[in-house]
Amino acid sequence: EVQLVESGGGLVQPGGSLRLSCEASRFTFSSYWMSWVRQAPGKGLEWVANIKQDGSERHYVDSVRGRFTISRDNAKNSLYLQMNSLRVEDTAVYYCARRGLRGSGWYFDLWGRGTLVSVSS
Amino acid sequence: SYVLTQPPSVSVAPGQTARITCGGNNIGSKSVYWYQQKPGQAPVVVIYYDSDRPSGIPERFSGSNSGNTATLIISRVEAGDEADYYCQVWDSSNDHVVFGGGTKLTV
């Protein structure tokens, strides 16, 4: 089955660090832009970061730039999000998502089930 | 940065038509995508490129986009359509993905 599976979430204190992983299965991972999207409890979706197929291009939402780093290992079919200097407002379910290939637009055609990150003292 | 505005909630009776709007400055010049998210689940794209349906999405789902408003239209609404719906665009000015705040559809 084509799928994305996130891991690495948990409880961390403010100022701490966490590394999320996303493992892709049953598709050619290296052919796709990949993203992280988060959802705070009871809130809407917020895009966090994108990374190009070969890792040569990355983009971040302003609120995480300088604190979070998106990366990938195509040999391991894996996407990562290194999160440093975590804040209470970073508490959310973090989804790994695949950019769709149809046309030149930007949309997500495959999502993982998410991993919960809780930042609290 | 580009902002998308959705009504927090829309209520519709079964069998009727639901219209969920997404407002943005000259949004008609962008491609709009719509996602359905049910409680405890990941989002699923139901409309892409303003009005196209991915395979597996019922014909009851359609979309339009013009001027400053994009609209998701759900015809013959069923109880199973009750969910949160999000619009999304690509902001080419800064290479950012932008989501609307979401609309809770109550049937």
pLDDT digits 0-9 by tens, B56-78: 999 999 999 999 999 999 999 99
Q: Which of B42, B44, B48 sits opposite A114 (nearest CB)?
A: B42
- Beta-strand ranges (E) seen in chain B are 9-11, 18-23, 33-37, 44-47, 61-66, 69-74, 83-91, 96-99, 103-106
Å between A112 CA and nearest CA of chain B: 7
Tens digit of pLDDT for each residue in A42-82?
999 999 999 999 999 999 999 999 999 999 999 999 999 99
- CB within 8 A of B54, min separation 6: which ones? A109, B45, B46, B48
| CB-CB under 8 Å, A95 with B42 | yes
Confidence of residue A104 (pLDDT cuts 50, 70, 90): confident
Closest chain A residue by Cα to residue B6 = A44
Distance, CA of B71 to CA of A97 (rounded, Å):
24
What CA–CA distance (Å, rounded) separates A46 from A36?
Answer: 9
Task: Yes or no: say if A111 and B42 are a contact pair by the CB < 8 Å rule.
Answer: yes
For residues A30-54, one letter each, b for 16 or more C-beta atoms within 10 angstroms of the residue's C-beta and e for the rest, the string is eebbbbbbbbeeeebbbbbbbbebe
Interval B68-93 mean pLDDT:
97
Whether residue B99 and residue A46 make contact (CB cut-off 8 A), yes or no, is yes
Alpha-carbon span A37 to A46, nearest angstrom: 6
Residue A102's pLDDT is what?
84
Q: How confident is the model at residue B103 (pLDDT cuts 50, 70, 90)?
A: very high
pLDDT mean over A26-35: 97
Q: Are A46 and B42 an interchain contact pair (Cβ–Cβ within 8 Å)?
A: no
Interface contact B95-A50, CB threshold 8 A: yes
Strand partners, B33: B88
Query: What residues pair up with B21 in beta bridges, in sequence order?
Result: B71
Neighboring chain A residues of B1 at a CB cutoff of 8 Å? 62
pLDDT band at A7 (very low <50, low <70, confident <90, very high): very high
Contact B94, B3 (CB under 8 A): no
Which residues are CB-contacts of B74 (< 8 A; sequence separation ≥ 6)? B12, B17, B18, B19, B20, B60, B61, B81, B105
**Distance in Å, alpha carbon of B62 to nearest chain A alpha carbon:** 17
Closest chain B residue by Cα to residue A57: B95
pLDDT at B5: 98
Asked if A107 lies within 8 A of B48 by C-beta distance, the reply is yes
Q: Which residues of B touch A35 (CB under 8 A)?
A: 97
Q: What is the rounded distance in angstroms from the CA atom of residue A59 to the CA atom of residue B67?
A: 28
Is the Cβ–Cβ distance between A113 and B42 less than 8 Å?
A: yes
pLDDT at A13: 97
Cβ-contact A36, A48 below 8 angstroms: yes
Record: contact A47-B102, CB cut-off 8 A = no
Mutate to test the interface with A, among B65, B84, B97 (most CBs of A within 10 A): B97
